[in-house]
Amino acid sequence: MISIYSVLVLILAYLFGSIPTAVWIGQAFYGIDVREYGSGNAGATNTFRVLGKKAGIPVMLIDILKGWTATNLAYLIGVSTTGNHHSAAFINYELALGVTAVMGHLFPVFAGFRGGKGIASLFGMVLAVNLQAALLCVLVFVVVLLITRYVSLSSIVAGFMYPIGVTFIFPVYIKSVIIYGMCICVLILVTHQKNIERLLKGKESKVNLFKSKAAA
């Protein structure tokens, strides 16, 4: 049975996810709303593209922290309620909190419900739930990025690697984790629809995450 306390923690997770890091940093330090430039997304990649690495790195790290922190709010309800931290009930609650935070990033209440694509926050969630699978996704992301220089393609491939990782490489014998991994794939395909179209047409922008705005 879902308690009022559990619902309140879910709301807190959404509020964590709703922190519009890219928007606030852009407006506070550069006088720019990144959603009006580049891809129009309030995420780390567009912040790198529009404002450079000095803004992009903090946005990326904070967005990852949002997902990680929100997922770990599961510990606030105590293992006495859901079982030990390896139990299916506890992991399911972690997943619920993480998904809620990602929804907050996609539709942030603090920024007119116009957010980013949720990849960094999604990674923070995966990092909290399954460290090994998260590191595998990072490795795949970096390799694809170095080869192609497409952040979108790297995110898509890394996202698809997660369900493969938890199913075959670092098997997790909890069905909800595998189902969640499949849902990640669907979410990534939906949020990256325009990127996929540009990739197929050869019009997707290649980025160098290590160049400054001045060099862009």
Q: pLDDT, tens digit, for every residue of 137-168?
A: 999 999 999 999 999 999 999 999 999 999 99
Whole-number pLDDT of residue 6: 84
- Are 63 and 121 spatial neighbours (Cβ–Cβ below 8 Å)? yes
149: phi > 0 → left, psi -120 to 50 → alpha, else beta; which? Answer: left
> Cα separation of 180 and 162, whole Å?
10
Q: Which residues contact 193 (CB under 8 A, 6 or more apart)?
A: none
The token pair at 48 is 């790198």
Residue type, 214: A
Q: What value does the mean pLDDT of the chain take?
A: 89
pLDDT tens figures, 21-39 = 999 999 999 999 999 998 8
